Amino acid sequence: MPEVIDLDKIGAARREAQEERPMIRFSGKDFQLPAEMPFAVIEAIGRLQPGEDGNVDNAKLSESIADIARSLFGKRYREFLDLGPSVEDMSALLEHIAPAYGLKPEAAEEEQKPDLPDPGQSA
């Protein structure tokens, strides 16, 4: 029989060793995030690479940010969205999520981080 890599057991031990889960407070409500950063967050960030013109497609940007929020908030995503986060709120979330999980963004990733559109400017 082949060796089984039991990710359930490995993950349970890793999560048990963690002391706290990241928390987001928005509009007076606390949202406890998953104990570990979901891989879907990394995947969505990877889709935010600028095109040949140096810009990120707005549709791809909004889809990726929504995917990140869905991954982080899970069943409470709609509750968070109904509170009306602004573009700036979502930008702050993106900026602070890696450090909240104890991760340090690489310098290259910081340079490639897309600028969210300024809501005061028309596209």
Helix axes 58-73, 39-46, angle to 10 degrees: 170
- Per-residue pLDDT at 108: 35
Query: 123 pLDDT band (50/70/90 cuts)?
Result: very low
Average pLDDT over every residue of 44-70: 86
Alpha carbons 20 and 82: distance in angstroms, whole number:
26
Domain limits of the chain?
22-112
pLDDT tens profile 67-117: 999 999 999 999 999 999 998 999 899 889 988 888 876 533 444 455 555
Please, is 29 exposed, middle or buried when counting C-beta atoms within 10 Å of its C-beta (0-12, 13-18, 19+)? exposed
Kindly report the pTM of this predicted structure.
Answer: 0.72
